[in-house]
Amino acid sequence: MIIFPAMDLRDGKCVRLYQGKFDALEVVGENPIEVAMSFKKAGAEYIHLVDLDGALNGTIKNLEIILKVIKEVNIPVELGGGIRDIKTVDALIKAGVSRVILGTAALKDKKFVAEAAEKYGDKIAVGIDAKDEKVAVNGWTNISDVNYIDFAKEIEAIGVKTIIFTDISKDGTLMGPNLVQLQKINDSVSCNIIASGGIKELEDLRVINKMGIYGTIVGKAIYSGNVDLKEAIAAGSQIIEKKQGL
């Protein structure tokens, strides 16, 4: 299982939210390059980046910093937040983003998602952020009436291979992931599922890995010291090797 250390960017800084609430924002890193470099030193093979300003406003706002992370840290980056059209996807992939995450646009414009998935394959992921099993959009500020499983099936049908699933009520809480909903979405589609939200300790990662999940995003647990990234990556690797009989 891949461990994705998370960096949420707001006004050029690394921040964490509590249950997706922007009025419950905490700055956890003044220098995103230093934070990303610490992830690399711990052995991270991928970084999960979210432009929170972009998620709210519909256009990427922290592009300069994102491009610096890609260039200076030099490990794969997946990016979400404010990506609403194919021209933006083209530009980001050309600039070196390894995987582009579509969120609000995926719910509102499935033709765009299908075009992106056909053009870029595994480089496209869809973020499904849910509250009470309903899909949230616009930086989690609006809740739709679309069930997260129904949406996952629609996304799979149009060619998306990777889904990032977040239970908003768990995000940033250190209360443990929503294993029931995570298992349900993993059983409902054949897409690679990346779990997000609520990770509090190494045991959470071990449990998720045993469920056959492709990857897990870890944010606040790293910044708070609850989870040591190096240990998390090592534990994930050991479990994967055991499952494969190596």
CA–CA gap between residue 177 and residue 170 (Å, rounded): 6
Domain that residue 83 falls in: 2-243
Closest CA to 229 of 202, 196, 194: 202
Instruction: Kindly name the residue from 53, 85, 122, 129 that is annotated as catalytic.
Output: 129
- Which CATH number fits the domain that encloses residue 14? 3.20.20.70
pLDDT recorded at residue 20: 63
Residue 107 pLDDT > 80, yes or no? yes
Q: Count of domains in the chain?
A: 1
Least confident of 17-26, 124-133, 143-152: 17-26
Q: What are phi and psi of 17, to 5 degrees?
A: -105, 165
More confident residue, 58 or 109: 109
**198-239 pLDDT, tens per residue?**
899 999 999 999 999 999 999 989 999 999 999 999 877 764
Residue 246 pLDDT > 50, yes or no? no
Q: Which residue, chain included where needed, has tokens 């249950």?
A: 19
Pairing outcome for strands 21-29 and 142-147: unpaired
CA–CA gap between residue 102 and residue 70 (Å, rounded): 19
Residue 116 pLDDT > 70, yes or no? yes
Q: Which residue, chain included where needed, has tokens 């980046």?
A: 49
Round the average pLDDT of the chain to a whole number and report it: 89
Instruction: Kindly name the residue from 8, 51, 53, 167 that is annotated as catalytic.
Output: 8
Q: If you count them, how many residues does the chain have? A: 246
H helix or E strand, kind and range, residue 22: strand 21-29
| Residue 239 buriedness (CB in 10 A; 0-12 / 13-18 / 19+) | middle
Is 150 labeled as catalytic in the residue annotation? Answer: no
Residue 127 to residues 49, 73, 231, 240, Cα–Cα distance (Å): 12, 24, 26, 24
Is 129 labeled as catalytic in the residue annotation? Answer: yes
Residue 43 to residues 47, 218, 236, Cα–Cα distance (Å): 11, 14, 12
Closest CA to 221 of 208, 239, 210, 211: 208
